[in-house]
Chain A
């Protein structure tokens, strides 16, 4: 099956700092989603981005499908950004997302 690797596994920031999270995948995909799992365990959809670039407030994401990676940018981080960020990919039609192991982000005040 497809392999998904996320880096770094852990990241500690001071409030206000910027960060880049990376997701590498081993095969072509037609579905790529970024999620934030908050400290209460809820999975929040951030982006659906199988290719191209999107921005939503302080967050943006870029996927270069031909090179099999995606990047999530967080600018001016806040303590509420803390949690685990997951990348998940899918092939074929619309099911069986394969998740990476996540990046644990801690933003200190």
Chain B
């Protein structure tokens, strides 16, 4: 069973461009979570999604950030008009349908904004 897949692993963008981060959960998992690791702030929850639904986006910045988890395909974290402060590691995690609480993390996408 393949683990959580994230791509790209490294992404470089210039200020003002868009960044799209992709996450494919483990097979059979329908719960997806995004976390961000900023250098001085540690790992912070951003958003929790199930198929076609955003359940909790309380950790998402109010502007420029959006997330989706369509019926088909990976979950996407989209950052519009990136700024240098968006430079961070973005991790995706998934958990199974049934009620077990372990979240399995992907390898992360390291975003660098020039």
User: What residues of chain A have their CB less than 8 Å away from a CB belonging to chain B?
Assistant: 30-31, 33, 35, 41-43, 45, 48, 50, 86, 88, 90, 93-102
| Whole-angstrom distance between the Cβ of A58 and the nearest chain B Cβ | 21
| A43: contacting residue among B91, B95, B110, CB under 8 A | B91
Chain B residues with CB under 8 Å of chain A are 31, 33, 35, 42-45, 48, 55-56, 58-59, 89, 91, 93, 95, 99, 101-105, 107-108, 110
Residues of B within 8 A of A41 (CB): 89, 107-108, 110
Asked whether A43 lies within 8 Å of B105 as measured between CB atoms, the reply is yes
Given A30-B101, A41-B107, A48-B102, 4 other A-B residues pairs in contact with their CB atoms under 8 A: A45-B105, A88-B43, A90-B101, A99-B43
Q: How far is the CA of A48 from the CA of B96 in the complex (A)?
A: 14
A92 to chain B, nearest CB (A): 10
Interface of B is mostly: strand
Taking the closest CB of chain B, its distance from the CB of A51, in whole angstroms, is 12
Residues of the B chain whose Cβ atoms lie less than 8 Å from the Cβ of A43: 91, 105, 107-108
Return chain A residues, CB-CB under 8 Å to B59. Answer: 96
A88 to B104, CA, bound (A): 12
With A and B bound together, what is the CA distance between A99 and B35 in angstroms? Answer: 10
From the candidates A35, A96, A98, A100, name the one contacting B105 in the complex (CB within 8 A): A35
- How far is B99's CA from A88's CA once the two chains are assembled, in angstroms? 18
Name which residue of chain B comes closest to A95, CB basis.
Answer: B48
A89 CA / B33 CA spacing, docked (Å): 14
A4 CB to closest chain B CB (Å) equals: 10
Contact A42 B107 (CB under 8 A): yes
Could you pull out 11 A-B pairs where Cβ atoms are within 8 angstroms?
A: A31-B101, A41-B107, A48-B102, A93-B99, A94-B31, A95-B31, A95-B56, A96-B33, A96-B48, A97-B35, A101-B42
